[in-house]
Amino acid sequence: MKIVTVVGARPQFIKAAAGSRALRREHTEILVHTGQHYDPNMSDIFFEEMGIPRPDYNLGIAGGSHGEMTGRMLIELEKVLQKEKPDALLVYGDTNSTMAAALAAVKLQIPVLHVEAGNRLGTLSNPEEVNRIVTDHCSRLLFAATEDARQKLEREGLGERAYVVGNIMYDSFLHFAYKPWDPKIVDFDGNPVTVPERFYYMTCHRQENTGTDTPLTEILCAMNSLDAPTIYAVHPRNHDRAARIRDREHLTNVILTQPVGYSDSVHLTQNALKIVTDSGGLQCEAFYAGVQCLFILDYVAWPETMVGNRNQLCKPDRNDILAKLAVKQTIDPDYKPFGDGHAAEKICDILRTVSL
């Protein structure tokens, strides 16, 4: 088949690294980058180090409101699909790029294949939740990462289109987890960062936690009081706020860095004492690595990780963070809900047997 794959954000690049490797053994893939993550440290570095094919189209669409961004993507993606006339469109996850591509394809009667279908937070106040629901209901085939996600699709009347294949991010994690590590982590001035022998690893980018100084100050002050430094890989839009809070609060135990590449992130995850994040992807990677994680959000993104204190929901409150960091994990090491690391191959197996 000829398949157009649309990506636009860091988590999708990680998934496409595994997905494109498998797809291109049997199919012709046209890769489209919407440009949603346009900073080189959030985009280019992933294509380079993960061996992702260079995009056939780079639409350069970033910034603006959700509606403006989605509308511009819808217009440009429709043009690409009309030109390429693919047999199917494949999308990952829950970004504006995902939903815009699904809408453009379904209106052109092109079958949509959604990888990581069925995830739900249970609230439309989260913009990604809207993207998930719309994309799932536009899709011909739904590839769920877990049985829980499949059951949620079934409750929405989509069960006949759904297949549990495992989490494709686990494919990429395993591909990089045991490779040699040559850190390429730099601070805000571009100077190399020496990774401490003992450290905590943190990412924090969601609007709820970084839109004002208050929540991020609480998080950073908690991390600053720990028994080892925290490496905080900062999203570009939060650089100024993070630096201001660090200087104002005299946070000498927090190391602010530019966004890190995937290999660096995997190895930081594997070697960290514990992890604090609001990233759905990083909480899963912490789970794969067996490292305890705090997820700073009001909603459970991956309920499978919330077992035996491996992953705990946490408020952006220093007392709550410190109390939960002190809790021990008690998880069965044989508990593996995300498959066997061969999700991409399973997707290709299904495409061989299912008529679109």
- pLDDT for 257-306, tens place per residue? 999 988 999 999 999 999 999 998 899 999 999 999 999 998 888 999 99
pLDDT at residue 203 is higher than 90 = yes
Residue 312 is predicted with a pLDDT of: 97
Question: How sure is the predictor about 40, in pLDDT bands with cuts at 50, 70 and 90?
Answer: low
Dist. CA 164–CA 173, nearest whole Å:
19
Mean pLDDT for the stretch of residues 86-101: 96
Q: How far is CA 2 from CA 85, 94, 111, 113, in A?
A: 8, 23, 12, 13
pLDDT at residue 41 is higher than 60 = no
Residues of the chain within CATH 3.40.50.2000 domain(s) are: 2-167+339-353, 200-325
Domain covering 200-325 assigned CATH 3.40.50.2000 in the classification? yes
Residue 62 is predicted with a pLDDT of: 83
Tokens representing 339 are 């498959």
Tokens representing 138 are 């536009």
Mean pLDDT for the stretch of residues 226-238: 95
Residue 95 is predicted with a pLDDT of: 92
Residue 97 is predicted with a pLDDT of: 95
Tokens representing 65 are 């409101």
Residue 236 is predicted with a pLDDT of: 87
Dist. CA 116–CA 143, nearest whole Å:
6
Question: How sure is the predictor about 30, in pLDDT bands with cuts at 50, 70 and 90?
Answer: very high
Dist. CA 202–CA 195, nearest whole Å:
13
11-15, 39-43, 339-343: the lowest-pLDDT one = 39-43
Question: How sure is the predictor about 43, in pLDDT bands with cuts at 50, 70 and 90?
Answer: low
- Mean pLDDT, the chain, whole residue set: 94
Active site residue 205: yes
Residue 261 is predicted with a pLDDT of: 87
pLDDT tens digit sequence for 237-254: 899 999 999 999 999 999
pLDDT at residue 171 is higher than 60 = yes
Question: How sure is the predictor about 206, in pLDDT bands with cuts at 50, 70 and 90?
Answer: confident
Query: What percentage of residues in the chain have a pLDDT greater than 90?
Result: 82
Query: What percentage of residues in the chain have a pLDDT greater than 70?
Result: 97
pTM, full prediction: 0.87
Q: Which of 33, 137, 205, 250 is catalytic?
A: 205
- CATH class belonging to 2-167+339-353: alpha beta
Question: How sure is the predictor about 37, in pLDDT bands with cuts at 50, 70 and 90?
Answer: low
Asked if residue 269 lies in contact with residue 292, where contact means CB atoms within 8 angstroms, the answer is no
Residue 215 is predicted with a pLDDT of: 97
Residue 42 is predicted with a pLDDT of: 52
pLDDT at residue 19 is higher than 70 = yes
pLDDT tens digit sequence for 45-79: 667 777 788 899 999 998 888 899 999 999 999 99
Question: How sure is the predictor about 178, in pLDDT bands with cuts at 50, 70 and 90?
Answer: confident
